[in-house]
Amino acid sequence: MALREIVFDTETTGLDPFTGDRVVEIGCVELINHLPTPNNYHVYINPERDMPEEAFKVHGLSEEFLSDKPKFAEIAQDFHDFIKDTPIIAHNASFDVKFLNWELEKAGFAKIDNDLVIDTLAMARQRFPAGPNSLDALCSRFSIDSTKRTLHGALLDSEILADVYLELIGGRQTNLMLSAEDQDLSSSGEQEEWSKRYREPAKQRPAPLPLRLSAEEIERHQTFLKEIKGDSLWARYLPQTEPEATGEDPS
């Protein structure tokens, strides 16, 4: 079965929903078996309040720009359906989840299951105790291009975080698809397109690697194989060596 995860980020009017701050942007990147798909979720939200200058300097979303955008209650169903029962990944996840839970509950939806939340900040602190572990610092550490990140943006930050998350869980080798089941994730045109992009057939060497075994090692191994009953698969891949001229009958 394919593994689905959602990397997400939010932008807000401030630091605390319990004092009147609201979510103004949500960006989500879908991962299937740790590969990004075209199935992203992104929305700007009317916070139904003013935009503090400090918050505007962070994300550049003005009260005027957001005035004609949908309210959270109007997008709550779509957002809830997109993340439902799926592990969600964020940097300093407690901040984003606190806001989303406040908004979801206010709109009449269940809160996010904390067991489904993965915090990349906690992961980074465990791996790099000395830090720094900000998103920008991790991009620098893993050589991930974040030059487009002049302002915070939920979708762009999610796309960057998806790359960071992949490095934190073991690097790009986690993208190797080793089973036939992995090759049949979806029959949709878009899914097939990204599958081709990210799953090019492994290239074969133009010539086999030279044998690294010495003649002595081959001879010892062949002696060992003779002691094994039956036809050994190993014997089929070893070159056959001629016995050295010793003056004795090799038979």
Catalytic positions are: 152
Strands of the chain, DSSP E? 4-12, 23-32, 35-36, 41-44, 88-90, 117-119
Amino acid sitting at position 173: Q
Cα-only R_g, the chain: 28
**Distance separating alpha carbons of residues 11 and 24, to the nearest angstrom:** 6
**Distance separating alpha carbons of residues 247 and 41, to the nearest angstrom:** 80
**CB distance 120 to 88 below 8 Å:** no
Let me know how long the chain is.
Answer: 251
**CB distance 249 to 243 below 8 Å:** no
**CB distance 24 to 67 below 8 Å:** no
Q: In this structure, what are the phi and psi dihedrals at residue 112, rounded to the nearest 5 degrees?
A: -70, 135
Residues 6 or more apart whose CB falls under 8 angstroms from that of 20 comprise 14, 49
In the structure encoding, which two tokens stand for residue 241, read together? 């060596």
Which helix or strand (DSSP H or E) is residue 29 part of?
A: strand 23-32
| Residue whose structure tokens are 């003005």 | 62
